[in-house]
Amino acid sequence: MIQINGVDFEPRADCWYQHDYVALVNNIASGEWNEPGAFRAIISQDLFFIVLFVMKIPQHLSNNPFVVNACRDVTEGPKDYTLDVWAREHFKSSIITIAETIQYQLLNPNHATAIFSYVRPVAKLFLGSIKDIFQKSQILKVCFPDVCWADPEKEAPLWSLDGGLIFRRETSRKEPSVSSWGLTEGMPTGGHYERRVYDDISTEDMKDSVDMMEKVKDKFDSSQNLGTDGGHHRVVGTYYHHADPLTHIKGIVMPDGAPKYFYRLKPGSDDGTATGKPVFLSQKRWDDLRLTRTFNCQQLCDPSPLSDMRLNPDLLLPIERRMIPKDVYRFMLVDQAGDLASAKVKSGPSLDSWAFGVVAVEPFTDDIGQSRVFIEDLYVSPLSESEAIDLIVRMYIKSGMIMRIGVEKVGLSTTHSHIASALKAQGRHVSFEKGGNGVLLHPLGQGTKGGGWKRKMIESALSWPLNNGKIFYSTSVPANFIERLKIEMRNFPVWHDDVMNMLAYLYSQVLKDFQFGMAEEQQEQKKKRYAQSQPVRGWMSI
């Protein structure tokens, strides 16, 4: 048993420490090593030393093989573009967000670290821990007098949770040494940081708001502009949803398809399963957590709803425009904004989205009765009615021959009439009378209570062709609109469904009027398969 900085320590045989702390104490006691110099050297290299002897996290928690090994992994692994997804209560924030930030600023006093969370109050909690340690830790003040203030609250130029912390440094710059920010509120403007840490950018209260998850993803991408050339950043967290910001970050790839982020996954059990042996928690604590609904995400680090995704966007197939067959039937479909009444008098981002596009259908079916469908053009965005009609007319005209145009009929809306009039002014005739080339689309689930029936109709219309590789999108379609469709699918049925609704109209209300037969080669293949399945008959069978 030894004591360092007032902390009792007894080495464990099952822990692979980065340094021999007993030898360290003995060498200092014998006078062989200078005490401040020895501790300064080890603090500069050893994250576990900071966790136990500087942060003083109780030994019964921190002196654990999992924590010791995790500290070594962080120290020895890459420093930039890292994504650490660890189980809850497994020291990820203590090691990376707090201990490594302390170590980094001690070694780089002229640099600046920014800590980002979903909202700023969460990031302030991490900053508060760092602030408290630098105020109280005598070992840091003695070993790093060139960085630490003796009394920071009186001596430091800036020392607050709102403004940030400024340590002793040789440069004069506007960025604090360490500061905290929120991605969705109060992001810094004009600042540049050598080190950025993203911790708790995905949270429990965010998972039920797809809009907020998408906002955080956008803000995360924007915050990359707050870095510096030669700087680095880490992302730390735990999954809460199969489409949360962490899964978005994990999916970012280089131009050659290689993952952009070094991914370190640390589930709470040795084999990543619920029945595995806990790597850190007690068996009792593990068994208690197994009863919770968030166990898969937060302890196994498995955003399990992904396996239950009803409409998997990965099954959408890209195709170059030139590879789309020539002999196709083209249909245009219009899904009106849900709140049409307000759309007539309002404009801007508060409007519901319109979704309209041109879809090409190969006029042949395969042996499971499905035709290949190609999304050739697409637009989805909040618009006023006049803006939407103008864009619809433009898309219709540039798309060549349109076999049918289907327009959703919402209540007493006369949007279809306005579209027909606008097209007539451009020399194009569309009639929504019976037998005409215009079709009034009846809202899915109309007359039912709630959206359950509508969701069921969307799923039944799209799941079969999607799962059988029959839905393609042209790579010429703007990427943001295809991404919108993928987000809708990924979060179905808890988010917007504008584009999916538009596509469902194709299958449920437009194609039913067309009877497509098999292509000739498919008919020949079917005949051959039938012939091969028949028994061979000799003369004795006559």
pLDDT of residue 76: 95
pLDDT of residue 323: 95
- What average pLDDT does range 131-137 have in this prediction? 96
| Higher per-residue pLDDT: 126 or 443 | 126
pLDDT of residue 346: 37
Give CA angle at 460 (457, 372), nearest 5°.
120
CATH (residue range 313-521): 3.30.420.240
Least confident stretch, 182-186, 345-349, 374-378, 428-432: 345-349
Tell me the pLDDT tens digit for each residue of 287-306: 999 988 788 888 999 875 44
Residue 493: is its pLDDT beyond 90? no
Tokens for 512, please give them.
């039913």
Task: Judge contact between 236 and 115, C-beta under 8 A.
Answer: no
CATH 3.40.50 matches 78-266: yes
Residue 448: is its pLDDT beyond 60? no
| DSSP 3-state of 406 | strand
Tell me the pLDDT tens digit for each residue of 498-512: 999 999 999 999 988
Tell me the pLDDT tens digit for each residue of 1-13: 899 999 999 999 9
pLDDT of residue 114: 97
- What average pLDDT does range 218-245 have in this prediction? 90
pLDDT of residue 503: 95
Q: Tell me what percent of the residues of the chain surpass a pLDDT of 90.
A: 67
pLDDT of residue 317: 96
Q: Which of 327, 367, 368 is nearest to 525 (CA)?
A: 367
Task: Judge contact between 143 and 40, C-beta under 8 A.
Answer: yes
pLDDT band at 307 (very low <50, low <70, confident <90, very high): very low
pLDDT of residue 454: 82
Structural domain boundaries in the chain:
1-72, 78-266, 313-521
Least confident stretch, 4-8, 69-73, 149-153, 442-446: 442-446
Residue 251: is its pLDDT beyond 50? yes
- What average pLDDT does range 257-264 have in this prediction? 92
| Cis preceding linkage at 493, omega within 30 | yes
pLDDT of residue 526: 46
The whole-chain average pLDDT of the chain stands at 88
Task: Judge contact between 211 and 245, C-beta under 8 A.
Answer: no
Q: Which of 33, 34, 35 is nearest to 5 (CA)?
A: 35
* Rounded Cα gap, residues 443 and 440, in angstroms: 10
| Higher per-residue pLDDT: 453 or 118 | 118
pLDDT band at 206 (very low <50, low <70, confident <90, very high): confident
pLDDT band at 539 (very low <50, low <70, confident <90, very high): very low
- What average pLDDT does range 442-467 have in this prediction? 78
pLDDT of residue 304: 52
Report the residue count for the chain. Answer: 542
| Higher per-residue pLDDT: 53 or 187 | 53
Per-state percent for the chain, helix, strand, coil, to nearest 5:
40, 15, 45
| Higher per-residue pLDDT: 388 or 311 | 388
* Rounded Cα gap, residues 52 and 367, in angstroms: 66
Ranges assigned E (strand) in 57-135 = 82-86, 113-117
Q: Which of 138-142, 434-438, 513-517 has the highest mean pLDDT?
A: 138-142
- What average pLDDT does range 125-153 have in this prediction? 96
The backbone torsions φ and ψ at residue 121, rounded to the nearest 5 degrees and listed phi first, read: -55, -35
Residue 536: is its pLDDT beyond 60? no
pLDDT of residue 39: 95
* Rounded Cα gap, residues 106 and 178, in angstroms: 11
Q: Tell me what percent of the residues of the chain surpass a pLDDT of 70.
A: 89
Tell me the pLDDT tens digit for each residue of 326-380: 989 999 999 998 644 333 433 333 347 899 999 999 998 876 678 999 999 999 9
* Rounded Cα gap, residues 25 and 302, in angstroms: 43
pLDDT of residue 188: 87
